[in-house]
Amino acid sequence: MEVSGAPILVQSIAQKDAKSVVPQQYIQLPEHRPIKPANETANDHKIPMIDLAGDRNSNLLRDEIARACTDWGAFHVINHGVPIMLLDEIKKVGSFFFENLPMAERLRYACDSNSPASEGYGSRMLVATDDAVLDWRDYFDHHTFPVSRRLPSRWPHSPSNYREVVEEYSKQMKLLAQKILGLISASLGLPSLFIEDAMGELYQNITISYYPSCPQPELTLGLQSHSDMGFITLLIQDNVAGLQASKDDEWVTVEPLSHAILVILGDQTEIITNGMYKSCQHRAITNANKPRLSVATFHDPAKTTIVTPAFKPHRLIPNSSARRQLTPMFWSEEVINKDRRGSLFVCLDGSIIAMASSLSPSDHLTSVSLPSDPGDPVVPIHIVTHASQLPPEFLEPSPDKKLVVGFDCEGVDLCRNGTLCVMQLAFPDAIYLVDAIEGGKTLVEACKPALESSYITKVIHDCKRDSEALYFQFNIKLNNVFDTQIAYTLIEEQEGGTKVPDDYISFVGLLADPRYCGISYVEKQEVRVLLRQDPNFWKYRPLSELMVRAATDDVRFLLCIYNKMVVKMNEKSLWYLAVRGALYCRCFCITDNDYADWPPLPLIPESLVTDNNAPEEEVLSVVDVPPGKMGVVIGRKGSSILAIKESCNAEIFIGGDKGPPDKVFVIGPVKQVRKAEAILRGRMLEIY
C-alpha cells in the first residue's frame, strides 16, 4: 500500500535528474547492491523452458515441471494457449499509460493513501515506513479476481481499449494459472485439482511495473530481493533485461523471451509442498540507458484459507538435524506481513513461520523429482525404528483381517552375505520404512509372523534376493507373495498366448506400461549410479531425503499395480503365480535340509483339476556345477543358458557374484525341469 502524503513517482525523479545522482532514499545498502548493471550481466545459467503443447508426453511434461520447481522455483512456458496478440496488447497499453499520458492524467489514478489496498498508480507498494529504502519503480496495480474486487472506474480510460485488454488478459492468465497449478499438483503425485482446491477462491492481481532508466544503476534496485507471497505469479516482460532470479547463491538474469510466459512459484507453493518445491527469490535491477516494463499476474489464496503442507516432514526432510514441518499458514492481509528481506512470514504474535529455504543445508539432502500418478492419494510416510510404530494388524496376522501390502527391501549387496538396511511396507493409507539399521535385528524379527503369514499378501517385484536376505540374515521364510514380475509374464501369456521369461519386465518398465501406471521413473537410474559410486549408500543414517524418496517410490505404486493385475488374471494364472512366487522365494535359499522347513506349495484347485486344460505341477530343481565350470555352463554372454531356456518351458537362474556360485536353479513344470536338468548335465559332461 502507499504511505500517507503526496505520491512520489520514480518516473518524475528520473526525468528531472536524468544526469544527476539518485536520491538517498533509493540507494541500497552495499550488501544489496547489484554487482553489475543489467547490460553487463552475464551468466551461464538459464531458467528452464517448458513446452505446454497438447501433444507432449504427459509423463515427460510432469518430470520437467518437477525438476524446474525443485531446482529453480521458476520456468518459462511456451505454447501456453494465451493469444500472442494479447501479450503484445497488454504491454502496449501499459507502455502508453506510463510514456504517453501526462503526469496530471496519471495522477487521477493514484493509489488511495488511506486504503490498505494498493490498486492504482503508485511507487511504494508494501512500504510501511517513511525511512525504508525504496524501489526504482512505478506501477499500476489492478484487482481482477474475484470479479467483485474489480473497480474499473479506477482503471485508465486511455487508451480506449485499456480496460478491455486488462479484463481479457486477466481471464486468460487465470485459465493458464489453473492449468499450471494442475500440472504442478500432478508432478507431486497429487490429484490435479489439489492445489487449486487448497487455494479456495482465487485472488488475482495484475501489476504493470515501469522501471525508468536510472543514472546510478549500480546503487539501486528496481525491485528488492523477495519471494512472492501467493501460489504462482505469471510474468511477461519487454525486451529489456532486468529481472534476476537467485540460483546457487548467485543472481541469474532472466533473459526476456518473446511471447514466453515466466512462471514464478510463491511461498504458498513452498508451504503446501513442505519445501519440496521452493519459492523463487528474485529481484529487478536497473540500467542507465533504457526504461523497462513488465506485467506480473499474482494468484493468491482466499483470505480465510489455511495453507497446510500436503506431506509429512520426514517425507521431505528426514535428516534429524533438519527435520521440520512448515507451519500451516492463515492467509490474511490483516494477520501476516511479508518480510521483504527473505522468505519469512512474521505473524502479529511475533512468531516466525520458517520456509524450507531457511533450513541449514545438509550433505545428505538431495532434491529429486517425484514420479507421479494423479489417481494415487497422498499418504504419510513413517520411518520405523520400533515395532510399536507398525500397525497391530500387520504384527499380528489374522484370518479375520487379511491384508495386501506392497513390499520391498533395500540393502548393501542384498543377498545372504550382504546387509539388509530398510524394509518398505505400503498400506493403502500409509507407507512404513522399517529401518533395520536403527531398529536392529529385534525390529526385523518382529515382522517375521507377517512376512511368513498366508493371511498377508506381500506385493513385490522380483522377490528372489529379498527372500534370500531375509532367510539367511533373520531366518524369515518369505511367504504368500504376489510377484508383479511373474504376474506380468502370466498376463502376457494369458492375453496374447506368447510365453515370455518371468524376468522379462523390469520395475521401471512395469511402471512405464500405461496399462498399470504409465509413469517415467528416471530417478531409479540416479540411485543406481550412487550405489555404484558408494555401495554403502543404504547404510548411512539418518536417512537422507533421497533415500526416503527412493525407498518410498519402490513401493508406493505396488498396490495400484496389484489391483490392476489381479482383475486381469484367471484362476489358472493366479495358481501359477502363487506357486512360482513360492518357488522364487526359496530359489536362492538352498540349505542342506532341501527346503524342508518352508511352507508347502499351494495345491492345484479342484476346479482346475477337473478341467481338460489342468495346469502341470511346478517344481524347483537345484543343479550342482563343478567348481570353476560355471562360465562354460553359462556360455558366452549367456548363450548356453538362453538356448536351454528356449528349448525348455522353464526358468533358469544362476547365483552369480552374490552366490551361491556353484548352483543353477531351474523352475517350471516337472517335465520341462527334468529336460533342462538333462541338458545341463550333458553340457557338464562335455566339459570334462
SS (H, E, C) 142-175: EEEECHHHCCHHHCCCCCCCHHHHHHHHHHHHHH
Percent of the chain at pLDDT > 90 equals 52
What 3-state DSSP class applies to 519?
coil
Same fold: 381-610 with 616-688: no
Q: What is the mean pLDDT of the chain?
A: 83
Residue that wins the pLDDT comparison between 572 and 328: 572
Residue 38 Cα to chain centre, angstroms: 34
Residue 458's DSSP bridge partners are 405, 481
Angstrom distance (rounded) from CA 434 to CA 125: 51
Count of Cβ atoms closer than 10 Å to residue 606 Cβ: 8
Q: What are the backbone dihedrals phi and psi of residue 213, each rounded to the nearest 5 degrees, phi first?
A: -60, 150
Angstrom distance (rounded) from CA 36 to CA 288: 12
Minimum mean pLDDT among 146-160, 228-242, 486-500, 648-662: which range? 648-662
The helix-helix angle for 58-71 and 162-187 (nearest 10°) equals 100
Minimum mean pLDDT among 87-101, 287-301, 643-657: which range? 643-657
Q: CATH second-level architecture of 381-610?
A: 2-Layer Sandwich (3.30)
Average pLDDT over residues 652-668: 83
> What are the grid coordinates assigned to 83, written together?
493469444
Q: Which pairing describes strands 352-354 and 344-347: parallel, antiparallel, or unpaired?
A: antiparallel
Residue 124 Cα to chain centre, angstroms: 37
Cα–Cα nearest to 106, from 65, 170, 157, 160: 157
Average pLDDT over residues 355-361: 26
pLDDT, one tens digit per residue, over 44-53 is 578 999 999 9
Minimum mean pLDDT among 39-48, 453-462, 634-643: which range? 39-48
In eight-state DSSP terms, residue 600 is P
Instruction: Give the confidence band of 637 by pLDDT, cuts at 50, 70, 90.
Output: low
If phi over 0 gives left and psi between -120 and 50 gives alpha, with beta otherwise, what is residue 274? left
CA torsion, ordered 623, 626, 629, 632, to nearest 10 deg: -40
pLDDT at 413 exceeding the cut of 80: yes
Contact 190, 243 (CB under 8 A): no
pLDDT, one tens digit per residue, over 501-555 is 777 788 888 888 889 988 777 666 667 777 878 889 999 999 888 888 889 989 9
CA distances to 149, 396, 436, 529, 613 from 448, in Å: 62, 10, 13, 32, 37
pLDDT at 66 exceeding the cut of 80: yes
Cα–Cα nearest to 590, from 467, 409, 410: 467
Cα–Cα nearest to 100, from 258, 19, 210: 210
Angstrom distance (rounded) from CA 601 to CA 617: 10
| Per-residue pLDDT, 164 | 95
| Per-residue pLDDT, 335 | 31
90-103 burial: b if 16+ Cβ within 10 Å, else e: bbbbbeebbeebee
Average pLDDT over residues 559-575: 94
Residue 344's DSSP bridge partners are 339, 354
pLDDT, one tens digit per residue, over 541-556 is 998 888 888 899 899 9
| Per-residue pLDDT, 317 | 31
Q: Which residues have C-beta within 8 Å of that of residue 6, sequence separation ≥ 6? A: none
pLDDT at 339 exceeding the cut of 80: no
Q: What are the backbone dihedrals phi and psi of residue 263, each rounded to the nearest 5 degrees, phi first?
A: -100, 125
Task: Let me know how many helices (H) and strands (E) the chain has, helices first.
Answer: 22, 26
Contact 41, 240 (CB under 8 A): no
Average pLDDT over residues 629-645: 78
pLDDT, one tens digit per residue, over 127-178 is 555 678 999 999 999 999 998 888 888 899 999 999 999 999 999 999 999 9
pLDDT at 2 exceeding the cut of 60: no
Cα–Cα nearest to 620, from 647, 593, 675, 582: 582
CB-side neighbour CA atoms (13 Å) of 273: 29
Instruction: Give the confidence band of 42 by pLDDT, cuts at 50, 70, 90.
Output: very low
In eight-state DSSP terms, residue 265 is E
Average pLDDT over residues 679-684: 82
Residue 54's DSSP bridge partners are none
What 3-state DSSP class applies to 383?
strand
pTM for the whole structure: 0.52
Query: For 126-276, where are the E strands, in sequence order?
Result: 138-145, 203-211, 223-226, 232-237, 243-247, 250-253, 261-265
The full set of domain ranges for the chain reads 10-301, 381-610, 616-688
Residue that wins the pLDDT comparison between 79 and 677: 79
Q: Which pairing describes strands 74-78 and 663-669: parallel, antiparallel, or unpaired?
A: unpaired
Residue 621's DSSP bridge partners are 666
| Per-residue pLDDT, 352 | 26
Instruction: Give the confidence band of 321 by pLDDT, cuts at 50, 70, 90.
Output: very low
Angstrom distance (rounded) from CA 655 to CA 658: 6
Q: Which residues have C-beta within 8 Å of that of residue 44, sequence separation ≥ 6? A: none
Contact 263, 176 (CB under 8 A): no
What is the C-alpha R_g of the chain? 32
Residue 502 Cα to chain centre, angstroms: 31
| Per-residue pLDDT, 134 | 92
pLDDT at 438 exceeding the cut of 80: yes
> What are the grid coordinates assigned to 189, written together?
503425485
What is the full DSSP assignment across 619-672?
EEEEEE--TT-HHHHH-GGGHHHHHHHHHSS-EEEE-GGGS-TTEEEEEEEHHH
Instruction: Specify the residue for cell string 540374515.
Output: 473
pLDDT, one tens digit per residue, over 23-36 is 999 999 998 999 75
Average pLDDT over residues 279-285: 96
Average pLDDT over residues 231-245: 96
Average pLDDT over residues 598-619: 82
Contact 453, 479 (CB under 8 A): yes
pLDDT at 353 exceeding the cut of 50: no
Give the best-scoring range by mean pLDDT among 166-175, 323-332, 588-597, 653-662: 166-175
> What are the grid coordinates assigned to 615, written together?
495346469
CATH number of 616-688: 3.30.1370.10
pLDDT at 113 exceeding the cut of 70: no
Q: CATH second-level architecture of 10-301?
A: Sandwich (2.60)
Residue 495 Cα to chain centre, angstroms: 34
pLDDT at 208 exceeding the cut of 50: yes
Contact 106, 208 (CB under 8 A): no
What 3-state DSSP class applies to 208?
strand
Q: Which residues have C-beta within 8 Å of that of residue 19, sequence separation ≥ 6? A: 215
Give the H or E element holding residue 296: strand 292-300
Angstrom distance (rounded) from CA 235 to CA 298: 9
Angstrom distance (rounded) from CA 101 to CA 12: 13
pLDDT at 77 exceeding the cut of 70: yes
